Structure 1
Amino acid sequence: MGRGLRWLVVATVAWGMLLAGLTWWSVRHDPPTVKEQRTLSQAVPVVERAMGQLVAALDDDAWKLTESRVDRGCRLTPLSAGAVLTRGLEVPVAAGGERALLDRVAQRLPAGWRAGVATETGHPRLWADAGEFVVIDGRVVADGLVRFSAATGCRPADAEIAKLMPGYPVGPELTAALRALGQAPPSDAAQVSAAVCPAGGLARTVSVEAGRGPASLAALRPLGTVVLDRPGLYAYRSGPVVVLADTTGDRLGLTASTGCGD
């Protein structure tokens, strides 16, 4: 083989390795853009079903669905901008139990999602493909706290997603928790986040914020079966509902979550 031909082979191999490396980096770090230009509102049902699958994959863990987030300004083309819709699900666990939770959820997600857990920068992380360009991510965001998300990728923003998220009245479980902690139920409607369960029906989380949190959450103990007991966090099950009290911030946060098996 001549010297010129050898250099050509070496250059071709190097170029191929560079493209492979750039592709891997892009998949891990670049936000996806939906080539078929499916709109944000068209992606909402896929995201809702994906969140329902995540809820169904949990056991008796304490969990809460979080508010939808719409990030605008991603580029569909050099001349047009789009938006990304992200739904979240937070699961507090005992410190050290994060990897076990991620592994358990990955095993229970649909086989077609190709879910897996790998270690990145020293922490476990879950990846899955829910179809229709919706990506599932699960990661440790703090000791004892795992956050799952479903994101649409960059799409044309054809609707205000906030209009799909109406208020919801405070239910009896949250009312009982507020009263036990010496807090009055808020006068305005609570925030609701919902997801479509695999077998139909809805999983939902109803959230309220009250005043400054009490020094102790021990007053909640008579209200149900303990699910989680950590400093500043207490969760219990009352029938089909898991109530989570959070005083780790400046204000008392309460959520009541009803899962897919209830």
Structure 2
Amino acid sequence: MSEAVQAGYAPPTRPDQPAPGRRRLRWLVAATAAWAVLLAGLTWWSVRHDPPTVKEQRSLDQAGPVVDRALGRLTAAVGRDGVPALLPDRIERGCRITPLDDGAELERGVAVVLAGDDVRQLLQRVADRLPPDWRAGVSAFDGEPRLRADAGEFVTVEGRSAGPGRVVLTATTGCRPVGAGYQPPAADAAAETAEAGRAVGRWGGAGGPVQVLAAPCPGGGTARTARAETAGGPAGSPLAAAFPGAADGSLVLRDSAEEYALRGSFAVLAERVDGRVRVAVTSPCPA
């Protein structure tokens, strides 16, 4: 039998020899798998060893001072239009930075009580007093006024209503690597602490330790809030009674059985919550 191959036909493949198309497919699958393994390895190494290359990756300890400075500017922007009180910082852990690493988000805030109920007007005044490069503005969100601004370094500033005559202003880092962790600024708040402790004593209830919160002011100095809480106290006692003579030369914004707020030598906010009296004594940044 002749071994010649008829024109137009491929030579037969022996049973022990894979077809050329199958060989190419196997090589392609193997190369793709190797590339995927290499890429995953490089990603793992980069995430754990390479320094940050974009601002979003700056760690919480690097972004924390930006938040602190933003909070000081916010207390200054409130001016005498409201009574500000620094709020305890909040750190939410477990957010995802990459598929391989989690992080944390820092939020600091200041509560503001105003004389009337026009929250939008206060937010607009605060926005007008913030630095131009923050691009602050007030718009409607779900029918409620909302202040938004950019404090730089990807720190977001927001302001929203917290009820009739109340506003909360916040500065937030977004999800960041934890790094060395956030260290809140310290300050000597002896005068504010003494005033808060004296008020708690006048309401007749022993309280826990006084919490001190601080934020640097734009022109130097520090905003300081001392927060304290009674263990109880007479339900009918007027809150203003704990601040005798405080109204002299001061601006009283609220005075009711449940809430008292004034701007004087200190910004004072007292309120009844769940049978207790909470007081915050603040020295805000100058306007």
Q: Same fold (TM over 0.5)?
A: yes
State the percentage of identical aligned residues.
Answer: 45
Provide, for residues 196-223 of structure 1, a one-character-per-residue CA deviation record: whole Å limited to 9, x for no partner.
Answer: 1000110011111111243231413524
Tell me the residue number matched to 2:239.
217
- Cα distance in 2 for partners of 1:204, 1:117 equals 27
1:82 aligns to what?
103
Q: Which amino acid aligns with 1:55?
A: T
1:234 aligns with 2:260: yes
Q: 1:154 aligns with which of 162, 175, 192?
A: 175
Question: Residue 160 of structure 1: CA displacement?
Answer: 3.9
What pairs with 1:68-217 in structure 2 (closer than 5 Å)? Answer: 68-161=89-182, 171-184=193-206, 186=208, 188=209, 190-215=210-235, 216-217=238-239
Q: 1:125 to 1:39 in 2, by over 3 A?
A: same
Match of 2:85 in 1: 64
CA, structure 1 residues 157+202, in 2 after alignment: closer, same or farther (shift >3 Å)? same
Letter in 2 for 1:180: R
Query: How big is the shift at 1:125?
Result: 0.3
TM-superposed CA distance for 1:35, in Å, is 5.2
Shift of 1:250: 3.7
Which deviates further from its counterpart, 163-172 or 80-89? 163-172
Conservation of the 8 A alpha-carbon contact between 2:187 and 2:224: no
Residue among 272, 280, 283 paired with 1:247: 272
The Cα shift of 1:166 comes to 8.8
Distance 1:230 1:119, change over 3 A: farther
Q: 1:143 to 1:236 in 2, by over 3 A?
A: closer
Q: Name the stretch that deviates more: 209-218 or 136-145.
A: 209-218
Q: Is the 8 A contact 1:207 1:253 kept in 2?
A: yes
What SS class does the counterpart of residue 45 from structure 1 fall into?
Answer: helix
User: Secondary structure of the residue that 2:197 maps to in structure 1?
Assistant: helix
Unaligned segments of structure 2, at least 5 residues = 1-53
* CA deviation string 1:50-99 (max 9, x = no partner): 00110110122211100111001111111111110000110122452211
Q: Tell me: CA distance 1:35–1:237, structure 2 relative to 1, closer, same or farther (3 Å).
A: closer
CA contact (8 A) 1:62 1:228 kept: no
Q: Alpha carbons of 1:245 and 1:74: their partners in 2 closer, same or farther (altered >3 Å)?
A: same
Structure number with the higher strand fraction is 1
Instruction: Report the more deviating stretch, 163-172 or 246-255.
Output: 163-172
Residues 251/44 of structure 1: CA separation in 2 closer, same or farther (3 Å cut): same
1:38 counterpart residue number: 58
The SS at the match of 2:72 is helix
Q: Would the aligned equivalents of 2:240 and 2:255 in 1 still touch at CA under 8 Å?
A: no
TM-score normalised by length of structure 1: 0.78
Q: 1:238 to 1:172 in 2, by over 3 A?
A: farther
> TM-score, length-normalised on structure 2?
0.72
The match for 2:282 is 257
- Cα distance between partner residues in 1 of 2:187 and 2:77: 26
Cα contact 1:173–1:238 (8 A) shared by 2: no
Q: What do you get for the CA RMSD once the two structures are aligned? A: 2.3
Give 1:165 deviation, angstroms. 6.3
Determine if contact 1:141/1:147 at 8 Å carries over to the other structure.
yes
Cα distance, 1:194 vs. partner?
A: 0.8
How many residue pairs are counted as aligned between the two chains?
Answer: 226
Q: Distance in 2 between matches of 1:214 and 1:223?
A: 21
Residue 258 of structure 1 aligns with an amino acid whose one-letter code is S
Question: Structure 2 CA distance, aligned partners of 1:250 and 1:184?
Answer: 14
Instruction: Give the structure with higher Rg (CA).
Output: 2
